[in-house]
Amino acid sequence: MSEVLYSEGDLKKVVAELAAAIAADFMGHSVLLLGLLKGCQPFLADLCRQLSYHQLNVAVDYLLVSSYVGSSSSGKVVIKQLSVDESFCRQRNVIVIDDIFDTGLTLQKVTAWLQAKGAAQVKSCVLLSKSGCNQTEMVPDYCGVEIPAVFVVGYGLDYNEKYRELPYIKVLAENEISA
């Protein structure tokens, strides 16, 4: 039996709080929200909507990033730029948007990549952070909620491309692994 960790209503509240914190810090500044595909999609869409209620104007772009195979990290983070504009992040305030912070290797690699491409500042916003898994010095600037070190799916998070469509987040049950 899967355990629902965060319902649709819980997630809405968490995203609204994150938007309020970002809007307070960036009011009057231009911001590029850079979503890490594929998992960021529902989170980023809801975050944008919430930011619009604070009248914070944002631009949105994406990177395609992968490291997970099934339910474990390969430790090798691969980044693919999707924007055709090579200088898309130069001198911009970039907030990297990711679904979950686990080992920190993704955020570490993406932050270094953006700094090398000339971003003015790089901040990060994650919906979830797994306790006790960070292998880096990175700390997300905006973090929705801390969760235990379990594999979760739903609200953009997948297991072999399944479960992304769920409107809530649940722990992947034993009998769903490799199902």
Chain residues that interact with ligand XMP, rule: CB under 6 A: 36, 39, 67-68, 73, 98-106, 151-153, 157-158
Residues 129 and 146 sit within 8 Å (Cβ to Cβ): yes
At closest approach, how far in Å is the CB of 77 from ligand XMP? Answer: 6
On the question of a cis peptide bond just before residue 38, with omega within 30 degrees of 0, the verdict is yes
Of the pair 57, 135, the CB lying nearest ligand XMP is at 135
At closest approach, how far in Å is the CB of 109 from ligand XMP? Answer: 8
H or E stretch at 72:
strand 72-81
Compute the residue count for the chain.
179
Question: What contacts 102, CB < 8 A, 6 or more positions away?
Answer: 73, 130, 133
Q: Tell me if residue 102 is catalytic.
A: yes
At closest approach, how far in Å is the CB of 132 from ligand XMP? Answer: 12
Of the pair 24, 69, the CB lying nearest ligand XMP is at 69
Residues 66 and 94 sit within 8 Å (Cβ to Cβ): no
Of the pair 34, 152, the CB lying nearest ligand XMP is at 152
Query: End-to-end CA distance of the chain, in Å?
Result: 14
At closest approach, how far in Å is the CB of 120 from ligand XMP? Answer: 24
Q: How far, CA to CA in Å, does 110 sit from each of 15, 94, 154, 168?
A: 22, 11, 23, 27
Of the pair 23, 144, the CB lying nearest ligand XMP is at 144
Find the catalytic residue in 25, 102, 141, 158: 102
Active site residues: 102
